Each structure stands twice: as C-alpha cells, then as structure tokens.
Chains A and B, each alone.
Chain A
Amino acid sequence: MSAPANPEGDVPVLRIRELTVALPPGADRAHAVEDIDLDVHAGEILCVVGESGSGKSVTAQAVMGLLPRGQLRPVGGEILLQGEDLLAAPRARLRGLRGSRMAMIFQEPMTALNPVMSIGRQIAEALTAHIRLTPRARRARVLSLMESVRLAAPEHLYKAYPHQISGGQRQRVMIAMALALEPVLLIADEPTTALDVTTQARILALIREIQAARDTGVLFITHDFGVVAEIADRVAVMQSGRIVETGDAHQILSQPEHPYTRMLIGAVPSLAPAPRDTDDGAPVVLSTEGLSKTYSGHGLLRRQREVVAAKGVSIQVRRGQTLGIVGESGSGKSTVARCVMRLTDPTGGDISLGGSDFGRLGARALWAARKRVQIVFQDPYRSLNPRRTIGRSMTEGPINYGMARAEARARALELLALVGIERGAIDRYPHQFSGGQRQRICIARALALEPELLVADEPVSALDVSVQAQVLRLLDDVRRRYHLGMLFITHDLRVAAQVCDTVAVMLAGEIVEHGPVAEVFERPSHDYTRRLLAAAPGRAWNFGASGVRE
C-alpha cells in the first residue's frame, strides 16, 4: 500500500487524544476505551482492528456522538474533527456535522435502511437534511451518487425498496448516503462483515476507489486481518479498550511487534491447504446420492411458490475425514446439513448413513439412528437452552437413549474436561460462558452420544479469530480421537483450507466442484471457485504461518 497522501501537512482530519469512555458500574472493566490516541489524515484509510469487546465500535460511536446515552460516557480526552472538539460540541452542532462533514456506514445494511421508504428517497433525505435543492436537482444528485457507487440502472433502483435489492447493493446505497455531502471523514464499522466474500471484495474496492478520488479520511473498523491487508494504509490494534500497536499497514502485517498483534495475525488461518494424511480405505460413514430439497410454500389460499435449495447433491464422507462444503449465503450448504441431520426432509435423492437408508427411515427407526449423527451450530448463543444448566443439556441425549442419570453426568464431566471446561462448571447456565466456551460445550454435547458423523454448520463464524483457532483445533482433535467423519459447512475459504480433506463448492444449490482440498484450492477448475478464491481478502499475504495446526 502506498504511503498516505497528506496534502494538509500535519493536520489530520480526525485527531483523537487520550480518549476515555466509562462503562456503567458493574461492567467487567471500568472503561470501554481508555486513553486512546488516533489520527486519520485526509486520503488515508486507518483500520482499527480488534476482537469483540476491544472497544473499536465504541471509538467510532464516540466520534459520531452516538454513544448510548446514560450507559457510555466520555470522561476524558478530546476528539478533534478538523480542529473542532466534538466532545465539547452541543448536540445541535453534532447533528449538523453528522452527514455533512463526517458520515458512517454500518455492518448490517438491511437494518440501517428504512424498509418502507424507497432507495432514492432515502438517499435524497440524506441530502435534504442539510441543504436545500429543487426536486429536479435533488433527483439528479441522487442519480449521480448512485452511479458513483456503481449501482447499475439507478433510474430503476430509485423506486426500489431495500428488500428488493441484494445485500451488496444495500451497502452501496449506504455508502451513497454517507457520501451524499462529501464528508471529510467516513467511518466504516465492519461494513463488509455481513456480506459474501465476492461482494465484500467489490465493496472494499469501491470504498478504496471513492476514498482516493475524494481524498476522504476513512476510519475503518474490522476484526478481519484479511480485510486489513486489502484496504488499510495504517493500522491500530485494540485490545480491551487500549491501543496496543499503531503503524503502517505493511509493517504491522509483516513485522508485528506487540505479542497480541502477533497472536491475532498468527491465528488467521492460511489460505494454503494444510498437508493431510488421508486414508482412502477408511469406511464411508455418509454418502448422499442426488440429494435435493425444494421448499414449496403451499396453503389453501396461497399461491404455490417453489425454491430449489439443493439439487442433485452427491457427497461422501469417510470416517476420520472432513468434507467441507463451501459456498456463499443462499448456496444451499446449510440445507444439505439439515437434510443430512434429517432436521428437514429431503425432497429427492438418497442419504446413506453407515449403510442404512437414513433419508427414508420412519419415525421409530429414525429416532434410533439419530444418535449416530450429531450437529454443532453456528450461533453458540442460541444453541443451548438458556433455561437449562449445561449439565442438563449435555446429559439430555444419553438419558434419551436409556443411560442412567448418574452415568450420563459422569460422561458429561469427562467430556467437559476433554473440551477444556472446568468440571465445576457443569451446573452453570449458558449465559455464564463466553461464545467460545459455549461452542466447546456444544461440541461436548454432540460427542456425548458417540456419533459416527459430526456435522459442523459454520461452527466458528460467530467467534473471534483467536477463539476460532482454538475451536478448530478442538474439532480436529476430537475428529482424530474418535475417528469421526465430519461434514464441515463454511463460507470461509481459509478455515476450509485448514480443516478439510476434501471440499465441495456449492453455487445455487448445486455442487460445481468437488475434490481434495489441495487440488481445488491450487488448481480450481470451475470459474466460480476461481472467483471465490480471488475474492478471499488478504490472499496476497501468507497469514497463519503458525496456523491452526501448530
């Protein structure tokens, strides 16, 4: 990345000095952010990187004057926007500055847009809040803004509503609104986290292009070092409310100094597939043949509507091996997982589990067979019943299949130790654990039934990168220990490269490419696979030299 253009000499667009924001009493620490110093110059992108709870979003909210009132309170320091102290500014002044001189884009463009207002009117509103324009001039400005964020057919989209356009288009609309008045500072809070990888690549390119053309200073908040590598000029790394390291992006990525930065960068899985010793003679535990699922809305008074979620999916998982299904949202990968679990019934094709016709088992036989295949879900916060202790959640399965209560509890204790949770925690409730711990508990619960196949549906997508590495290691460990077959659903190519033996790439319900992970990643044969790999953020950097499998 080039050195930041800095036409105004040493005066940054945004200067934060010794900012401290207090948390309400009773929180896990006294300050959300403590004593932080940051500069954003015109024409540069400063990435603030950190894990959840590091205070990066609070910093952004403090700048915008959007801290939740009564909960978070700036208690020290100053925030200067072109020399004007924002912490001292009255609310009316802040309102005037927001939109005109500083603007923000958010993570979730669907919730940030008003669902009952057309796209064009929402962008126009961003304009009219600050300047007067004739309707004709306003419309022209909106259309030119839409063009500048590369929204195709702006005339047509002007009248569209947020639900009628894609996630990437919505984020473009958000960017158009933010840029409506040519602010000097743009704050982007995880703007691509909710987007698919190919869309993310295009949005990142757009932000870069617009920022360079308009000489905007960008404060870019992210948890993803891949994104940092793509977009940052400079980087500030935050940990528990403090900035632990600041510097040029290239330097931080290649020679991180602080141990925390080194740990974070080291935890990013490498895109280069890890060497695997696969045993092609291992027995097949799961195979599907032409598996299909069509969702059809039916009812007495409703129109028939069919959605093909999966079509002709044929996969095979051997014991002790991991098959990854990668694809973007809506590609049908989770549908395959749910069919394999019989959480939803396939509409076509066969599912064979250890030789039995699992896809067609009747209720009684299905119940008996369920223990052979277990699942770990994406969201650790919703995977455990909040009203039951983790011990009761973990023993539920074995007790269902006739194990004595005491024995099931003893087994749960053993498994807790295996997944690295202290035994005394068995009588606690899920909310007393962190996300990573909950995911470990979910893995332990799945193992309690001694399954042959473990389905992991995006098991690490909701976790911080350092925790992600630990959970991936744990999954790999239990796979080997119990000789489990694993079906691993992920959208993250880096994760897939590290944990899978074979990989199947899904697009619009169908598998477009299938093979050993090294082959697919190094010599992709399908155009879509090539596009996916090309879009992986930070592919130019060799992250995770220390990798998942240390």
Chain B
Amino acid sequence: MNSDLLLIGRNTAVMIGGGLLLAMAAAALFAPWLFAGDPTALDPVARLRAPAAAQWFGTDMYGRDLYGRTVYGSRISLLVGLTVAAVSVAVGLSIGLVAGYVRWVDAVVMRVMDGIMAIPGILLAIAMIALAGSSLVTVVVAIAIPEVPRVVRLVRGVVLGIREEPYVEAAISVGTRLPHILIRHVLPNTVAPLIVQATYVCASAMILEAILSFLGAGVPPEIPSWGNIMAEGRTYFQIAPWIIFFPGLALALTVLGVNLLGDGLRDSLDPRITKRM
C-alpha cells in the first residue's frame, strides 16, 4: 500500500487535480471567513456593477455580491458532487457485487439497469423534481439514480473476472460463505476502479446540478448555487457577462480538478499501466 501512495504522490495530474479540488473545498468550508457579508443581501442601489475593488466579481441585478455568492455556491456544488458520488457508489457497489455473483439476480438486475440507462439522466431528474418538488435531497437522488447503472456495470465486470480466479474457488472449497467471499476476496479488487469512477460521477453530478439549476429545476432559487446564479444572469448576459462568467469559471475549474484527479488515480492505481512506467 505504501508504494501505491508513493506512486500517487508522484503523479502530476493527481497533484494538480487534488490541489484545485482542495482549494474549492477550502472555499466551501471557510466561506464565512472569505466573505464577511450575506450572499443573499439585496442592494438595489448597486445593481449590475462590473467587477471592481469593492465587489471583486461585480454584482447581479439585485445588487447581491457575486464574489460572496460564488464562494457560497461552491458549498452546493461540492455537497451535491460528493454526496451523489457516495450514494451512487454505495448503491451501485452493493447491487453490482450481488449481480456479479448470483446468476439469476444478474439477469433481472442488469435488464433493469439497461432500462434506467436508456432514459436520459436529465429528463429523469426533471421528472423526479417535478414529482417530489425541488429540494437539495431530491436533486441528489435525482442525479444519483442515472449514475447507479454505470457503477453497477463496472463492479459487475470486476466481479465476473475475479469470481473465476482460482483463489476465489479455493476459498469456496475451504468453506468460506458467500458474504465473506465477497468482502474478503472480491471487494478489495473493486476499490481502485471505484475510486476512479467516483471522481467521474462527482464531476458529472456537479455539472448536472448546475444544468438543473440553470433550467430552474434544481435547488430552490433562494440558495446560491453556481447553476442558480448563472440561470439568473442569463437574461443580463449581454450587459453583465460577469454574472455568468465567475460561477462558470468556478464550475469549470472544479470539474477539471476532479477529472484530473480521476485520470491520475486511474494511472496510479491500475497495475497494468503502473508496470509500464
């Protein structure tokens, strides 16, 4: 394990991606210190101000400080990204392990997964939010559901490969029961690909959240999220482009960071690629 950590540390993509992500996480965590005011406070006198020393990122059409809103918006993006990644990996892992190991479950579950994958994720999310009303929990669930089949497929693939390994058959022969086979012998092999998949899920969840907010189907408009800020700035795009620019930039940098981290981790954790280096 130590050599794994060393390899990861030597990977530049991991360092840059991790650094970007860490910076965003710090912004989210220390938002009250980074911006002393209230990101929702209206100031009708200072509407649509361009970026300046007083308001670094300018103000929106209600005079709210965009720097503050963008900093606070990182909380929503990261929260949604990380929760969706955690939820979809947890659910997908459980389903994938069982599907890969129990033949008859496999046939049923995989057809259901195919079904979910056939529905465009964004439509599914909008439909769910239309049914359940807009809240952070609904958004997380709505984004997580279309990600689950991808995780299931990945885990199932790993399991199908591992279950044929002689050491798994040897474990069956010495009387190891199914739950232990899965936890001791199969699960550890899924960790590396899952970490990588989780970063991709995280990145796409953040984008999806922004899209949903932009469409007005995301988190409630009173909460500043990058998608919400951009949605509100849409009509003023030609006279106040900064309303869209700064949250957009923040979103792009965060997603880039997560993707770089994922690529780097994939290279470090995949033994076939590691051997070639």
Contacts and interface: CB of A to CB of B under 8 A. Distances in A.
Contacts of B166: 377-379, 382-383
A341 interface: yes
Interface string B145-181: 0000000000000000000011101111111110010
A299 B170 contact: no
A388 interface: yes
A383 B169 CA distance: 8
A217 B185 CA distance: 50
B175 A397 contact: yes
A383 B170 contact: yes
B173 A396 contact: no
B184 interface: yes
Given A382-B167, A384-B167, A385-B185, A397 B172 contact: no
Contacts of B167: 382-386, 393
Contacts of A343: 169, 172-173
A396 B172 contact: no
A233 B173 CA distance: 48
B187 to A, nearest CB: 10
A374 interface: yes
A375 B165 contact: no
Contacts of A386: 167
Nearest to B172: A343
B169 A377 contact: yes
B112 interface: no
Interface in B228-245: none
A400 B175 contact: yes
Nearest to B188: A387
Contacts of B185: 385
Contact of B173 (A374, A378, A385, A388): A374
Interface string A383-419: 1111110000100110011000000000000000000
A15 interface: no
Main secondary structure of the interface of B (DSSP, over half): helix
Contacts of B173: 341, 343, 370, 373-375
A371 interface: yes
B137 interface: no
A507 interface: no
Contacts of A223: none
A319 B176 CA distance: 26
A445 interface: yes
A442 interface: yes
A393 B173 CA distance: 12
Contacts of A307: none
Contacts of B171: 385, 396
Contacts of B177: 367, 400
A300 B169 contact: no
Interface string A286-314: 00000000000001100000000000000
Most chain A beta-carbon contacts within 10 A, residue among B107, B175, B184, B185: B175
Given A382-B166, A384-B167, A385-B185, A397 B174 contact: yes
A401 B174 CA distance: 9
A449 interface: yes
A400 B176 contact: yes
A400 B174 contact: yes
Interface of A: 299-300, 341, 343, 367, 370-371, 373-375, 377-379, 382-388, 393, 396-397, 400-401, 442, 445, 448-449
Q: Please list the 8 inter-chain residue pairs (A to B) with the smallest Cβ-Cβ separation, ordered nearest first.
A: A397-B174, A377-B166, A400-B175, A383-B166, A385-B167, A370-B175, A382-B166, A387-B188
Given A343-B173, A383-B166, A386-B167, 9 more contacts: A343-B172, A371-B175, A374-B173, A378-B166, A396-B184, A397-B175, A400-B177, A442-B170, A445-B170
